[in-house]
Amino acid sequence: MTRPLDGITVVSLEHAVAAPFCTRQLADLGARVIKIERPGSGDFARGYDQRVNGQSSHFTWLNRNKESLALDVKQPQALSALLQLLETADVLVQNLAPGAAARMGLSYETLKAHNPKLIVCDISGYGADGPYRDKKAYDLLIQSEAGFLSVTGTPETPSKSGISVADIAAGMYAYTNILSALLLRGKTGQGSHIDVSMLEAMAEWMNYPLYYAYEGAAPPPRTGASHASIYPYGPFAAGDGNTVMLGLQNEREWTAFCALVLRAPELAVDPRFDRNALRNENREALKAEILRIFSHLTAAQVVQRLDEAGIANAQVNDMAQLWAHPQLQARNRWHTVATPVGDVPALLPPGVNSAFDYRMDAVPAVGQHNRAILTALGWTPAQIQSLQPQNSEQAA
């Protein structure tokens, strides 16, 4: 079976989330991804936690299908091995500290002299220039800088996302930019330089609240799990103590909601609630009416009425319920991948393609592929051994 990126080699100086998420997706499509890691400890995300049979949850998620090459790139011999790899690679991805790659001679301008077809993707917090270029950038800090915290949480307390949303956004834009650069190279024969900023990725995702606050208008308020400008849209408690998430989009649905779910058709024409702007303005009064009626129903009964009325709804699932989600099971979305601590379940990438199956190979140990990669480059066993830190069996 041919995959879209079969034959493409990606070298990545990566850690944490943004770059590993980008390169894992390239690997899922068939690319060979050679992950450069610190000898011994490797990507520091390996140590974030030990929730997956002693292995990090982040690392398990982000690093299947990759080869691990442990190199101390501050050492001349190790750096020469990396440069040798890059002479024939298709893509270099890096999310090191600002300026670190360039100081090692790994800037696009330097590398393209030896490999004009190379695509170099730099991922950073703020981009390659501008007054914030050298600032450290972690996911929470970018969520804050991008205004995400200002519209997320409750009126009293801003809240960060429960996932690394800024890293994920940057990783996704790096991934799509690299795919675009590969298509462009197919037309021009030349590589290119990609500069992905976490702030710019998040700012793109913030365009709705940006335009909502256009020309100094009030921004969307923080409304917890409810929608900031549509009501009713969010979580509502039922009489059995469970919560139902529901959402209305238009006046037709509002009329059906009143008649078939609340069984109070008079509310549909109540002058406090007869269009969305008024429902949003008077949401506390409407919430009280909804909760009064729901208090006599179980969550299952509420969902049944919502389904009969054609009103969108969802369960408020926890992680155990997501693991066992019947829709994921029915669509066979779970696969198994090998890791250094044994096989673990893994979700297939989103998007079912009739022409190919995604690659779902192992998560590597630190330096697991040193000997194979360096031997293929023409290194002798003695040269390979010289790269190993003393007492480091993992890098062998």
Please report, for residues 57, 59, 336, 368, the alpha-carbon distance to residue 343 in angstroms, rounded to integers and kept in the order given.
14, 14, 6, 17
Non-local CB neighbours of 56 within 8 Å, separated by 6+ positions: 45, 46, 47, 48, 49, 50
Q: How many residues does this entry show for the chain?
A: 396
Please tell me which residue in 58, 193, 227, 325 is annotated as part of the active site. Answer: 227
Whether the ω angle into residue 326 lies within 30 degrees of 0, i.e. cis, is no
C-alpha span between 134 and 177 (Å, rounded):
23
C-alpha span between 11 and 37 (Å, rounded):
11
Amino acid at 125: G
C-alpha span between 176 and 155 (Å, rounded):
35
DSSP lists the bridge partners of residue 216 as none
Whether residue 15 lies in the annotated active site: no
C-alpha span between 100 and 90 (Å, rounded):
21
Please report, for residues 232, 297, 313, 337, 342, the alpha-carbon distance to residue 288 in angstroms, rounded to integers and kept in the order given.
11, 15, 19, 49, 51
DSSP lists the bridge partners of residue 236 as 244
Q: Which of 307, 311, 313, 312 has the alpha carbon at shortest distance from 257?
A: 311
The residues annotated as belonging to the active site are 227
